[in-house]
Amino acid sequence: MFHALTNDKVDTGDYRFTHQLQDIETLNHRALKGELELTAVSLHGYSFMTDKYALCACGCSMGDGYGPMVVTPKPMKIEDLAGKTIAIPGTLTTAFLALRLCLKSKGLDAAPAEEVGAPAGLAGETTVRFVIRPFDEILNLVEKGEVDAGLIIHEGQLTYQNQGLHLVVDLGVWWMEETGLPLPLGGNAIRKDLGRKAMDEVTALLKKSIEYALAHRKEALDYAMKYGRDLDVAKSDKFVGMYVNDWTLDFGPRGREAVALLLKKGYEAGIIPNPVELEFIG
């Protein structure tokens, strides 16, 4: 998405972009503090920062019948996760919101998530326990048996079977079955104190960058692969196609409906503290 902005493929006029590559949960926490003018965010994370940021209408990552997954060392059903410990990539990720909604629909409770290094707590019979771990370590932790299950995002969705792991639930599939809508995962947020003119102009530049990437797929993919983990060209192309596509150009009416419904359900379940009023730019 950002290849064209990073590598001067589009004219940015008076604007200059400084790129900082970080994992999504780090970006969520930085955005909570208002540190970044334009940033990728989890849509779950966005629900806590609507006072500071609006959503760009372009740049979304949508799981259209697929999404984050829960995997385990041996086959099990969602109900079997009762009393188990799941490694998650962060409490503000949309993957975690979707997982909690899914578990709640099966009558399971969620214990508070514990930070890296926290001592193991006790989980009740219907309680699922969570520990926060870096997203790119979770598959290995599950494979080693250090946790009972892992919530995986990013490339692990295509590679977990290489480590002998088993799929418990694909949250994008579960959400589609529940709602008939795609699962909106991430977006780009722009800080409101820039003023409406700058918000509109910067969002338009972001859209140009995405359009350039889709029109120059191989070139943009070669750039993106520098940051990929353990994926060959074919898998990289498949993964990018899952999350950078027509949805990325604009959420569209159905995408906006999906975001509103997800965050509404999060609020009704007591996971998100306040109702979310969405504001889209572009």
Return all residues near 17 (Cβ < 8 A) that are at least 6 apart.
5, 6, 38
List helix spans (H) across the chain: 3-6, 24-32, 43-46, 94-105, 138-144, 156-159, 171-179, 196-215, 217-225, 233-243, 246-249, 252-268
The tokens for 237 are 């192309």
* 3 is a catalytic site residue: no
Q: In what order do the strands lie in the sheet with 109-110?
A: 109-110, 127-132, 85-88, 149-152, 69-72, 166-170
Tokens representing residue 188 in the block: 């780009």
User: What Rg, from alpha-carbon coordinates, does the chain have?
Assistant: 19
3-state secondary structure 105-130: HCCCEECCCECCCCCCCCCCCCEEEE
Beta-ladder partners of 167: 71
DSSP assignment of 227-254, as one string?
A: T-SS--HHHHHHHHHHHSSHHHH--HHH
Distance, first Cα to last Cα, the chain: 16
Question: Which residue is catalytic, options 3, 19, 154, 166?
Answer: 154
- Measured distance CA(102)–CA(217) in Å, rounded: 35
- DSSP letter assigned to residue 60: -
Do the beta carbons of residue 175 and residue 119 sit within 8 Å? no
> Which amino acids are annotated catalytic?
154
